């Protein structure tokens, strides 16, 4: 009876990470649906504001207020989504470390059981190897196994320390680098828009001999593609 209850408790501990991840993913799905709904609401209120900006400013102002309220809620929801994603990653990483450690323990036990069944007399009878020669080979085998077990033990300690210290996070995002990337993307879109419209900046010579910047659209259809 005690073993039965103990087995249930062990199984419950084993299933706890999976259950936690399942609950987190369900909550994450709900938050993502809410995020999409809020984005749609913001777009709808923005359209109402633009439609009434000239004819009914009161309606436009109310729509903008609602849009701002949805925007604040959306920001909070996005933060909650990020938090849940980080928690899911942490639990999955810790669970993988634990499973790896358990597998290593089982492997070490299996090796011990295999070596424990070795008997010099039995091997000598089967292999017809002289006792002294087998003893030498057994000593070499023992040394090799000890080295491998020591290596496995050190690796198990490293995994145990990783589990105790929690998952290591990456380096913080460089905000300046992120802004530069955003600016580059924005510039690419601007360049594509200029190429599609067939306008290019030119610098003709003005009356005073200095270049003046303006947009020139060529009448040659092939020139605009350059």
183 domain-assigned: no
Same domain, 58 and 144: no
108 domain-assigned: no
Same domain, 135 and 53: no
Confidence of residue 119 (pLDDT cuts 50, 70, 90): low
217 domain-assigned: no
179 domain-assigned: no
Q: How far, in Å, are 38, 195, 220 from residue 198 at the CA level?
A: 38, 5, 10
N-to-C CA span, the chain: 84
182 domain-assigned: no
Same domain, 123 and 85: no
- Residue 191 and residue 201 in contact, taking contact as beta carbons nearer than 8 Å: no
What is the mean pLDDT of the segment spanning 27-54?
91
- Residue 17 and residue 95 in contact, taking contact as beta carbons nearer than 8 Å: yes
198 domain-assigned: no
Same domain, 92 and 142: no
List the one residue out of 172, 174, 19 whose CA is nearest residue 88: 19
Q: Which domain holds residue 34?
A: 1-99
3 domain-assigned: yes
142 domain-assigned: yes
What is the mean pLDDT of the segment spanning 75-98?
90
Same domain, 8 and 55: yes
Same domain, 84 and 140: no
Same domain, 6 and 82: yes
In a 13 Å sphere around the CA of 147, the CA atoms on its Cβ side amount to 6
Same domain, 8 and 67: yes
Say what the pLDDT of residue 143 is: 57
The CATH code of the domain that includes 84 is: 1.10.287.1060
In the structure encoding, which two tokens stand for residue 201, read together? Answer: 């900046």
Inform me whether the pLDDT recorded for 80 exceeds 90. Answer: yes
Q: How far apart are CA 45 and CA 43, in angstroms?
A: 6
Q: How far apart are CA 73 and CA 79, in angstroms?
A: 10
Same domain, 6 and 57: yes
Same domain, 122 and 95: no
Inform me whether the pLDDT recorded for 85 exceeds 60. Answer: yes
Inform me whether the pLDDT recorded for 180 exceeds 70. Answer: no
Same domain, 77 and 138: no
Same domain, 143 and 64: no
Inform me whether the pLDDT recorded for 208 exceeds 80. Answer: no
Q: What is the 3-state secondary structure (H, E, C) of the chain?
A: CHHHHHHHHHHHHHHHHHHHHHHHHHHHHHHHHHHHHHHHHHHHHHHHHHHHCCCCHHHHHHHHHHHHHHHHHHHHHHHHHHHHHHHHHHHHHHHHHHHHHHHHHHHHHHHHHHHHCCCHHHHHHHHCCCHHHHHHHHHHHHHHHHHHHHHHHHHHHHHHHHHHHCCCCCCCCCHHHHHHHHHHHHHHHHHHHHHHHCCEEECCECCCCCECCEEECCCCCCHHHC
What is the mean pLDDT of the segment spanning 45-67?
85
Q: How far, in Å, are 123, 182, 202, 214 from residue 189 at the CA level?
A: 77, 11, 20, 20
Report the domain count for the chain. 2
């Amino acid at each position: 009876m005690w073993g039965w209850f103990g087995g249930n408790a062990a199984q419950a501990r084993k299933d706890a990470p999976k259950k936690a991840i399942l609950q987190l993913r369900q909550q994450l799905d709900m938050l993502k649906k809410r995020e999409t709904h809020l984005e749609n609401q913001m777009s709808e209120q923005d359209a109402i504001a633009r439609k009434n900006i000239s004819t009914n400013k009161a309606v436009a102002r109310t729509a903008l207020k609602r849009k701002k309220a949805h925007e604040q809620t959306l920001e909070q929801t996005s933060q909650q989504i990020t938090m849940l994603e980080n928690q899911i990653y942490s639990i999955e990483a810790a669970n993988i470390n634990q499973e790896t450690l358990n597998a290593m323990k089982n492997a070490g036990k299996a090796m011990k059981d295999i070596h424990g069944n070795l008997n010099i007399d039995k091997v000598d009878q089967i292999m017809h190897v002289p006792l002294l020669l087998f003893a030498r080979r057994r000593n070499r085998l023992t040394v090799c196994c000890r080295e491998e077990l020591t290596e496995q033990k050190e690796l198990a300690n490293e995994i145990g320390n990783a589990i105790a210290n929690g998952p290591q996070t990456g380096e913080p995002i460089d905000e300046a680098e992120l802004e530069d990337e955003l600016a580059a993307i924005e510039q690419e879109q601007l360049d594509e828009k200029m190429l599609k419209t067939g306008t290019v900046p030119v610098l003709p010579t003005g009356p005073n001999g200095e270049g003046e910047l303006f947009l020139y659209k060529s009448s040659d259809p092939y020139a605009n593609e350059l």
